[in-house]
Structure 1
Amino acid sequence: MKTIAIIGAGLGGLSASIKLASNGYNVHVFEKNAHTGGKMMPIDMGSYHFDFGPNTMTMPEVFDRVFEEANLNPRDFFDWTRIDQHTRNVDYNGESFMMSTNQEEMVDELSKLDPYAADHYNAYLEEIERLYLLSKNSFFPRMFTSPGDYLSPGLFNAVLRVRPLEKMNHFHERFFKHPLLLKAFNRYSTYIGSSPYLSPATFAMIGYLEMVQGVYYVKGGNTKIAEGLERAAKQLGVTFHLNTQVKQVHIEGKKATKVETVDGFVLPVDQVVINGDLLQSYPALVNEKHRPSMRNKKIESSSPSISAFVIMAGLSTRLQNLCHHQVYFSRDYTEEFETLFDGKWSLDPTIYISNSSYTDPSVSPDGDNLFILVNAPPLSGNNTISEEEYKTIIYDKLEAHGLPIREYIVEEKIVGPNEIKDRFHAFKGALYGISSNSLKNSFLRPSNQSKDIANLFFAGGSTHPGGGSPMVVISGKNVAEKIIERDAVK
C-alpha cells in the first residue's frame, strides 16, 4: 500500500484524501491548526456560531460528487438549503435591489432601476451560461503543467471563446447601465481576489452559478461541509495529524522521500500533496535548491490577490433590515480597487454582511450573527491603519445605512490580513494566492504538479483551477486522480 502525505487539511486536501483513500492508499493528513477545512473555519463565541468563510456556497454537486465517488451518501454528512432570493445590494445613496434565481423576479427588480438591463437580462444569462459550460468542460477537469497544454486541439479554441481579452467591467456594460447593477455584478471579481477592471470577462461565469444554479447554505453552518469531509475521510481510513506543523519535505534525487514535522515525527512517503498557499508553503517546506523553477525571487515578485478585514459580531437582537446576504457599496468602485491594488486601505469600503441566522436561527438563537467582510490590501508597508480605526469606519458607514450594530454587540472578534497570513500560511495575507488581474495569472496559474520534483503535487485556491470552495475541491480531486492514473500505468 502506497503512502501519501497531504500537508494541509483545507477543502482541497480533504477531497484528495477521500479520493485516494477510497482507492486503496495509506493517507496521512497534516494540519497546523486544530480544525480541518482551512479558511472554512468555525468560530463560536457564546451562543453565536460564525463561518469564517466561505459564506456564499455554489456548485453543491462538486462537493456531493466527492462522497458519491467514494460510495458514500453526502446526505449522511450534511444537508443543503437553497436560497433563491439571496443577496440584497445597496448603493451609497440607499438605492437597492435583491438578487434572485427567479428570472421573472429579477426582471422586475431590474426594471425599477434600469429598463435596459431588464430587456437584456435574458441575453446576459445565455452568455454567462456559455462561459460557464466552456470552463466546466474545458478547464476545470484538467491539470495544466505548461503553457503548451493550452495548445492542444480544441482547448486553444475554448480559451479564445471565453472572452480572455475582454475585462469583466466591459463585459457587464454590455448588459447593465445603472451604476449599482454594474457594481453588484462586478463584485464577482472579488470571489477570485481581483479587480473587475483588470480581470478577464471569463470570470463573469460566476454569475451563472449564483443567478441560475443558485446560492446554497448548509444547515448548522457551512463549516459542516468540512466536518463532513473529515468524517468521511476517517471512515475510509485516513489518518489526521491536527495541531501538527510540517517542518520539511525531504528531497532525494528529485523525489520527495519523507515528511518531517516540527516535533520530530518522520513519515516515509511515495507521494506528497501540498494543500495550501503555494507561494507560502512551497518555499517553507522545500529547500530552494530543489525547486529551480520556483525560486524565492520569483515568488516574491508575484502579485498577490486582495486580503480581507473581518468583524464577527454577535448581537443581542435581530435587525429587521437584514437578510442572509447583503452588500453596501462604496461611492466610487473604481477608486476602491485602485486603492486596494496600490496596497492601501479604502476609506470608503464596500461592506459584505452574512447573517446566516436569518435562514438558520439555530446557529445564533439569541440574536444576529453578523459576519462583516471588507476587502483589504495584501500586506505591505502601506498597512498603517489600526484595526480599531477601521472598525470604526465600518460601523459608522453601516449606521448611516440604518444598522446600529454597536448598540447591540454581545460578542465581537476581528480578523485582519496579519492573522490570515499567520493562521493560514497565506502569502502576504492574500486570500487567493496570485491575483487574476492579468491574462497570464488567470489562465496560467501555478501548476498542480511540481516541475522539479516528480512526486510532489499542489492543491488549493492558489493553483489551477483557482479560488473559491468548489474550485479548491476540484483541484484536490484532480490531483488525486492524476496520482491514481500515474500509478496505474507503472
Structure 2
Amino acid sequence: MKKVIIIGGGLGGLASAVTLAHAGFQVHLYEQNAHLGGKLMPVSLGSYTFDFGPNTITMPHVFKGIIEQTGERAEDYFELLPLRSHTRNYFQDGSTIDFSSDPEKMAAEIARSSAADAANYPKFLKEISRLYTLSERYFFPATFQSWRDYLSPSLGRALLQARPAETLDHFFKRYFSNPNMLQALGRYATYIGSSPYKAPATFAMIAYLELVEGVYYTKGGNVRIAEAFAAVARKNGAVLQTGTAVERILVDNGGVSGVELAGGEKVVADLVILNGDLLSAYPELVDEKLRPSFPDAKAARFEPSISAFVITAGLIGHAPELKHHNVFFSGDYRQEFADLFAHQRYSDEPTVYISNSSFTDPSVSPDGSNLFILVNAPALTKDGQLQIDPEQYKERIYDFLESYGVEIRSRLAVEKVFTPSFIKETFGSWRGALYGPSSHRKADAFLRPANASPDIANLYFISGSTHPGGGSPIVTMGGQNLAKRIIKQHK
C-alpha cells in the first residue's frame, strides 16, 4: 500500500489521516507543535483551561463521521452537548437578543423589537435552508484538483442560485429592519474572516448552521475532538509525530518523493498532503521554480482574512451574568470593518466576543469563569508588523467591556494575551490571518485554491486557505473528502 506523509496536524490533516489509515495506507503525520488539532489548541493557566480554537461547534455529524467511518462509536471518544439558546448579543442601546435554534424562541426574541421582523423569520429560515442545501449538495463534497473540476455545469448552476452577486448585509436587510438584528447576523461574515458588507450572501448558510441545526460544545473542551481524531488515527495504524517540523518537500521528476525534516532526515513517500496555510507553507517548503502555477507573487496578491486579538482571562469566582457565548457589539459596525480591511488598523471601538465555557461545563474551570475574549484584528502588515501595543489594546478592550457593565480587572486571577504575531508564528498562518484569503472577491469566495498541485504530481493541499474553505467542520470535511479522492485514485 502507498505511503502518505501529512504535513501538519490540524483538523483537516487528522481527518485525512484517519480516513487514509483506515483504508490501509501507510500514514505518517508530522506536526511542528507539541499538540495536535492546529488552532484547536488547549490553553492552561493554572486551574483554568481554554479552547484557543473554535469555541462554537456546528455540524456535529461531520466530527462524528470521522470516527464512525472506522466502525467506532463517536460517543466513546467525545460528548457533544447541544446549546439551544447559545449566544447573547449585547448592543449599545442596552438591548439584547438571544440567539437560539428554537424557532419559536427566536421569533419571540425578534418580536420584542419588531413584529414585522418576527413575521419574516420563517421566510428567512426557508431561504438560508435552501442556501445550505445547495452548498451541501454541490460544494462541500467536491475536491478541486485542476481548473477542469470547476467547469461542472451542475456546480455552475448551483453557484448562480446561491446569491453570489449580493452581499450578506443586503441579504439580511431583505428580512429584517432592526439594526441590532442586522448587526448580530452580520457577524457571521467573520466566521469566514470577512466583512458582511463585502462577502457574498451565499454565506448566509452559516446562519442556518447556528439557527436551525444548532450550536454544540464538547464536554471537557472542544479540544477533545482533535484528541479523538488522533487516537483513532493511531488505532488504525497512522504514525503521528508532534514537535517535528518539515523543512522541505522533496520533488523528483515532476512528482513528490518525500520530505526533509528540520534535522536533515529525509523521509520517502508516494504522496504528500500539505495541511497548512497554502499562502505561507507552499512557498516555504517548495522552491519557486518547481511551482510555476503558484509563484510567490501570486500568494502576495491575495487579500488576507481577519486575524484575532485574544485574551484568555481566568476570573476569581464565576460570572453568572455571562452566558456560554456572548457578543458585545460596537456602535459603528461598518466603520469597524472599514478599519479592519480598508485601513488595516485596529478599531478604536471593537466588537468583543466572550466564550465562557464554564457556564456549561464547570469542570474545565473549577475556580472561576474561563473567559476566552476575542476581538477581530487586521492581518499583520506586509512586512510583518503588529499595528498596536498589545498591553494598551488589552486595556482598551477591558474599558469597552466596562461600558457594558462587565468588570474584568478587579476579578482577574490569571490572564494571557495572544496577537496575530502569535498566530503567524505558531500556526504558520499567512500574515497571521485566520482563514487565508478573505471571501470578498468572488474568485476567492467560490474558487479558492485547489486541493492538488497542478505542477507537482501527488502533492495535495487541505486547509482553510484552500477549497472548501475555513471553519472547523468545513476543514474537517475537506480533509475527509480529499482522502476519499486519494483512495479512489491510488488504492
> Shorter-chain TM-score: what band?
over 0.9
1:144 CA displacement: 2.1
Which residue number corresponds to residue 348 of structure 1? 349
Displacement of 1:148: 4.2
1:453 aligns with 2:485: no
SS in 1 for 2:392: helix
Deviations 1:86-135 (A, max 9, x none): 00001122211101111111111101112221010000000000000000
- Correspondence for 2:465: 462
CA apart distance, 1:147: 4.5
Native 8 Å contact 2:308 2:376 kept in 1: yes
Contact kept in structure 2, 1:147 and 1:444, CA below 8 Å: no
2:482 is the alignment partner of 1:479? yes
Is the 8 Å Cα contact of residues 279 and 436 (structure 2) preserved in structure 1? yes
Are 1:367 and 2:368 an aligned pair? Answer: yes
Distance 1:180 1:265 in 2: 56
State the SS of the aligned residue for 1:440.
helix
Q: Within 5 A, what are the aligned runs for 1:46-445? A: 46-341=46-341, 342-380=343-381, 383-445=386-448
Say if 1:153 and 1:217 are closer, same or farther in 2 by CA, change over 3 A.
same
What's the offset of the Cα at 1:232? 0.6
1:251-304 Cα offsets, whole Å, 9 max, x none, are 111101011101122210000000010101101111111100000011111111
Contact (CA 8 Å) 2:386, 2:421: kept in 1 or not?
A: no
**Aligned-partner Cα distance in 1 for 2:472–2:387:** 31
Gaps of 5+ in 2: none
Distance 1:395 1:3 in 2: 51
Please list the CA deviations of residues 55-83 of structure 1 after superposition, one character each: whole Å capped at 9, or x if unmatched.
00000001111111111111111011000
Q: For structure 1, which runs of at least 5 residues remain unmatched after alignment?
A: none
Give the conservation status (yes or no) of the 8 Å contact 1:12–1:459: yes
CA shift at 1:153, angstroms? Answer: 2.8
Q: Structure 1 residue 146: deviation in Å?
A: 4.2
Q: Is the 8 A contact 1:194 1:305 kept in 2?
A: yes
For residues 152 and 256 of structure 2, the distance between their equivalents in structure 1, rounded to whole angstroms, comes to: 30
Deviations 1:168-214 (A, max 9, x none): 00000011111110010010000000011001000000011000100
Question: Quick one: percent identity of the two aligned structures?
Answer: 50
Q: Secondary structure at the match of 2:366?
A: coil
SS at match of 1:432: coil
Q: Deviations over 1:328-372 (max 9, x none)?
A: 011110010011002111010000000000000000001000000
SS at match of 2:166: coil
Separation in 1, partners of 2:388, 2:278: 28
Matched position secondary structure for 1:292? coil
Distance 2:485 2:456 in 1: 15
Number of residue pairs matched by the alignment? 488
The alignment's TM-score, normalised by the length of structure 2, stands at 0.98
- Give the Cα–Cα distance (whole angstroms) in 1 for the partners of residues 242 and 373 of structure 2: 28
Q: In 2, distance between residues paired with 1:117 and 1:34? A: 49
- Structure 1 segments, 4+ long, off by >4 Å, are none
Whole-angstrom CA distance in 1 between matches of 2:156 and 2:262:
45
Question: Which letter does structure 2 place at the counterpart of 1:485?
Answer: K
- Comparing 260-269 and 328-337, the one that deviates more: 260-269
Which one-letter code corresponds to 2:397 in the other structure?
A: I
1:215-266 alpha-carbon deviations (Å, 9 max, x no partner): 0000000000001111111111111111010000011111010111011222
Could you tell me how far apart the structure 1 residues matched to 2:386 and 2:262 are?
A: 31
- Preserved contact between residue 50 and residue 370 of structure 2 (Cα < 8 Å): yes
User: What SS class does the counterpart of residue 71 from structure 2 fall into?
Assistant: coil
Deviations 1:358-391 (Å, cap 9, x if unpaired)?
0000000010000000000000167432001110
Secondary structure of the 1:98 match is strand
Q: State the partner residue of 2:19.
A: 19
